[in-house]
Chain A
Amino acid sequence: MTGAVAGLVAPAAAPRSRENLLRRIVRHRADYLYVAPALGVMALVIGYPIYYTIHLSFFRTPPNLALDEKIFAGLENYQRILEADTFQEATWNTFVWTIYSTFFSFVLGFGAALALNRAFHGRGLLRGVLLVPYVISAVAASYVWRWLYHSDVGVIGAFATALGLSDGPINFLDNRQWVMASLIVVNVWKEFPFAMIMLMAGLQTVPEQLLSAARVDGAGPWSRFRHVTVPHLKSVILVTVLLLLVTNLNSFTIPYIMTGGGPAGASEIWITHIYQIAFGRIRFGLASAYSVILFVVMMALGYFYVRALTASEEKAAA
């Protein structure tokens, strides 16, 4: 009987599941109706551009043609990208830019958060001052730093000369060796307050009892930091690092305004390169293929971000 019943029941399971889904939809139709407009808007403003970018990445769109005259080219755009010297250079630059920016923003942000988590006179003022880079517009900051770095009249170069560190102009932005490091400094200056805010918020949730217990057990400052604070901040750290990675990978304003990817491509990262291909050279097919590659990388980072966020929420719920 069991076998016969099992045999009868098993095939019926799938339709019943669909039925349940339909029933669930009907039962919760009001909920679905509420979210439908938002879903519709998202499909229109996010879903369609993503679809169209992927679609366009398989077409040749020479600059003398309108987009409705594009020519199907299969994987040609992807092949051209992967074979181009500029791809290798831009990829390496993107890697350097993203990793160094994220690392130093995080380390500086963490250091500032730990320092500001202690009570001292003038802490509020210092917090405000350290937040200034974060609230300044990236465009304004880029222009100001461009002048500070200026090879001929920049203040930084003038200081270096006055202090005897240099005997002439320093080519921060006009030199292939210095340009990426110079841009990363600006980016870290702009980004570290974000890490600081996130980690300061996390630090305030570390239970004082745990720290006190560790202190009673004879744990020193480093041991308390390593064995109590860091484990407690694990989720916050992960989310902060992932958000910094995503932000830096997508960071356009600072490198574009300060150098436009130059000199000679030394500061060209994926996002500025994509912009240049699309709007400087009107190669929408090629730029779309580039964007799809970036999209895949972003989705991978997004996956880890969501996982980290979910783990954090589950932990909080527990």
Chain B
Amino acid sequence: MANWSKRLVPTRLIDRRAFLGSTAAAAIAAGLSTETWAQGSKTGVDLNSWTPKYISSIAGTENYDTAAECYKVVPKDYAGRVTYWYFGPNAASPQIQHEMDAQFWDAFSKTYPNIKVTKQNLDYNEMLNKLRTAALGKAAPMVARLPILWGVEFAAKGQLKEFKPEDVGYSRDEFWPGALKSVTWKEKTYGVPTNNETMAFIWNADLFKQAGLDPESPPATWDDVVAYSKQIKEKTGKNGYGMVARVNAGNTPFRFMPQLWAFGGGALDEAEASPTYKNIFINNAGSKAALQASYDMYVRDRSVPASALTNTQNENQDPFLQGQLAMMIAHPAEYAVMLDRAKKATGDDKKAADAVVANMRYGFVPKGSARRAIVFGGSNAHIFNPDIVEGGLDLNAAKALVCMLTGPEWSTKLAWTDSNPGNVRGFKTRWMKERLDTIKFLDVTTSMLPYGVPFPVLPQSAEIMNIVVPNMLQNALTKKMSVSDAADDAAKKIKDLMSDF
């Protein structure tokens, strides 16, 4: 293992911003023919300009009057009611998310004093099933904010109302094409993006140091992740990589698919330059290599938490804060969460937590043999069809809410620690500048946007990502099946699923 550290530790420490700048520049220099450019092009991000420097330069350059913009769509004195379901801040969210959520509702009631809101803040892992049941029972809310992965299923069932950015006064150019694609089903638009998420790679510099690794450099490739994880376990006894492989929890595909795509795999062909969503890649050589990498960490090296099969990402936060876990894929929010928790800790726990926070580092998610990739995530605001909305749809009230949610101001504020505003004008606001100035590592996740790959825009996507892919992982990691058999089994399930439609 000593060879690894010799090969990977640079002779001098690299400044984080310099590292990001050079990485982005390297990506640009790689030219238009690279796979990375194909991804950037697909998600609508121009790599030529999308650098941390550029993002910082446009932040705080424009002001927007949200109320004035929304009054053009729904007048101030409009009286009505709107029902709204969303997964908002919860116990694991940083305090600032709670504050922003409260500020939004305060602002909405001031902007539209005569619109009564009935809102439900649901648990992420429960919301999909509840919404499916409610929609079937004709008890859906008027508006729901759904993760990118879910919306198309409801659109395919005919449960969503056709609804596009122009309906709330915004141009399509204000939203990422990749995000707009996620609200499009059979050439029709069924929602408006609220925020776009890309995550980054987070590591504990002190644990790296203890393991003989360069504390300021993340693993460059997924092969490095496997090697680092083993080395950390061997040298420190702590867990290396924070794997998440729970079934039916969105955390799993958000962390495993970047690995799968990096090796040239995929559920379908979603990571290719021109996806058809008809070719199954889950058992190709790349997918099997990615699965083997997970197997190597979990089974061979035992260098990841043994509880990975039942964990969601929340369960990785405490061991990370206690310095028991070295690496994981995470949002910028993770830093805010760690800060909050460190503040609440006392005595020796506080000392340890403060030390871990000081040693937190964010970098680009590692590359694989085929590409660097991250999930192009986020959420969209949708309006349900009047015939399945409980108590009927008040379209104007719903429009007023969606307008507020998706404008430059609130799509920035409500995504305060969650990477990127849905409305690209949000990047020019003073709130974006404030975020960049105050949220450490935000620029890293924002700079990951060009590598974002949207999940397949298919109604089967939720089942593929939340059930088939995690089951494949579990089949291999529990040795129920060999790596190859687990991948082939997943391919068969996806094939059956596709033929079911």
Contact = CB atoms under 8 A, between A and B. Distances in A.
Interface of A: 62-67, 146, 150-153, 169, 171, 173-176, 258-266, 276, 279-282
25 contacts: A64-B153, A64-B157, A65-B157, A66-B136, A66-B157, A146-B310, A151-B305, A152-B319, A171-B307, A174-B306, A174-B308, A175-B478, A176-B478, A258-B310, A262-B247, A262-B474, A263-B309, A263-B310, A263-B474, A263-B478, A265-B474, A265-B480, A276-B248, A280-B248, A280-B466
Given A176-B478, A264-B474, A280-B466, A259 B310 contact: yes
Contacts of A146: 310
A283 B31 CA distance: 46
7 tightest Cβ-Cβ pairs between the two chains A and B? A151-B306, A151-B307, A264-B474, A174-B309, A263-B309, A279-B129, A64-B156
Given A146-B310, A261-B247, A266 B478 contact: yes
Interface in B291-340: 305-310, 318-319, 324
A66 B158 contact: yes
B189 interface: no
A174 B315 CA distance: 14
A280 B248 CA distance: 8
Nearest to B306: A151
A264 B305 contact: no
A47 B159 CA distance: 29
A176 B306 CA distance: 13
A262 B480 contact: no
Interface in B139-158: 153, 156-158
Contacts of A282: 132, 153, 463
Given A175-B478, A262-B474, A264-B475, A64 B248 contact: no
Interface string B488-501: 00000000000011
Contact of A150 (B307, B324, B459): B307
Contacts of A260: 246-248, 310
Contacts of B158: 66
B467 interface: yes
Contact of A63 (B459, B475, B478): B459
Nearest to A62: B500
Contacts of B319: 152-153
A63 B463 contact: yes
Nearest to B489: A85
Contacts of A176: 478-480
B307 A281 contact: no
B305 A280 contact: no
Contacts of B246: 260, 262
B310 A281 contact: no
B477 interface: yes
B133 interface: yes
A261 B467 CA distance: 12
Contacts of B459: 63-64
A281 B309 contact: no
Interface in B470-487: 471, 474-475, 477-480
B95 interface: no
Given A64-B153, A280-B129, A262 B460 contact: no
Nearest to B470: A262
A198 to B, nearest CB: 34
Contacts of A66: 136, 157-159
Contacts of B133: 279
A173 B318 CA distance: 19
Nearest to A275: B129
A152 B242 CA distance: 12
A241 B501 CA distance: 45
B306 A171 contact: yes
A244 B132 CA distance: 33
A67 B136 contact: yes
Contacts of B318: 153
